[in-house]
Copies of this chain bind each other. A is one copy, B any other.
């Protein structure tokens, strides 16, 4: 429909709006390219607290848009929000054996509840204010929530409980990366309780579908849906369902998980209900979560050497308008015209920003919004006012088109959808080009170095999975739900296998 032309730009020209810094390209230094975008697109930065990030307004606005859509999806599937304590008594962790194994190793422990001034005038921990039982800052809330559900559940009439929590959680990671792995991060965690096993399994599957829908239709990132192998399963789950995405360096990123917890937590916290036929039964559980890590997935899923690229549906600014002028009269005339344009775009629900800062030149602004991944940029100058036109540049393709001002709001609505679809299509193509079957251990060792998803036969044992990981750093990312039955031999052990699973190196 649109006739965009390539803008006059050298390949890999890097915007230098931040003059103090030359940004890395993916080819030069992928990891630095990522860090540059996080920092210079003003998404987040490291704080003075080891491993904890500051999410800056632009990054937080992106997270708010993500929250908004997810929250709507959760409510449409019958869930309510609630809030549970940040602190969890240490003893709660011990109640579910595999859970404590998974989470005790990396947690923040509160041992005291007061500071005091010592004889030298220094502020020190007051040794008299030691807690009888240490408190753990929640790394996840299954234990405190199931301790609460025990009070809420007596009869089948009290079920199901369908609750979600938006919260901060802490996992004491030694090696951190902004958004991908930090000591503190923001997330949502759903925790549901059901009378029947089948209902809990259906719930875990439903939330997997919600996550896949969100990833593909809002983040514009294609995901594989499947289960985790026992080695990669959530500590305390019977089955972990996941969505797995491929980043531009060919590594996998786990983008969301939904766990069928069986009766493990109900037994650990003694949560039983009286069934319709008057029997006391343990309750069945699920939990599911996605986090600010998804922002890392958006960055690495779409961005290019010119900076961040945001999917229109989640972008804090969908259209930025930059005035091009030589004097104040011209700026006034442009601003007057922009008022109407802005109003018409907003009436269609489009998020618009008019940047009339007088402290920066248009070229600087162009580079800045390009680097910050704003999907559509308008340039409006004196000639545009005469011709009643706008120069429209799309961020995904960096092409431009002159469009008439009249009816621009409808054209942009269509264009935003096109960009959203294009980002998804490109990511699908990239994944296709970087996914392949491998059939021998020799082949596997060569192919894993190239990155991407390797579909290979596996004998189903944890031992084999662990050895493959030790030798290649590749893990089983998922056993796809749609994997076809296929007779084969495990690439590592040669033992029989009935379907291929997906191996990759992962974030």
Contact = CB atoms under 8 A, between A and B. Distances in A.
A471 B85 CA distance: 37
A110 B172 CA distance: 12
A151 interface: yes
A53 interface: yes
Contacts of A438: none
Contact of A87 (B55, B104, B108): B108
A304 B369 CA distance: 55
A90 B115 contact: yes
A147 B60 CA distance: 19
Nearest to A148: B54
A49 B116 contact: no
A359 interface: yes
Contacts of A186: 83
Interface stretch (A134-142, A218-226, A401-409): A134-142
A326 interface: no
Interface residues of A, number: 65
A145 to B, nearest CB: 9
Interface in A93-126: 93-94, 100, 104-117, 122-123, 125
A86 interface: yes
Nearest to A150: B48
Contacts of A168: 86, 167-168
B89 A49 contact: yes
Contacts of A184: 85-87
- For the complex of A and B, list the 6 residue pairs with the smallest distance between their C-beta atoms, beginning with the closest: A52-B85, A57-B80, A104-B115, A55-B83, A109-B112, A113-B172
Interface of A: 45, 47-49, 52-57, 60-61, 63-64, 80-94, 100, 104-117, 122-123, 125, 134-137, 144, 147-148, 151, 157, 163, 167-168, 170, 172, 183-184, 186, 359
29 contacts: A45-B151, A47-B84, A48-B92, A49-B85, A52-B86, A54-B82, A54-B83, A55-B82, A55-B83, A57-B81, A57-B82, A61-B80, A85-B184, A86-B137, A93-B115, A93-B123, A94-B122, A100-B115, A105-B116, A107-B115, A108-B113, A109-B112, A109-B114, A109-B115, A110-B110, A110-B111, A111-B112, A111-B125, A157-B359
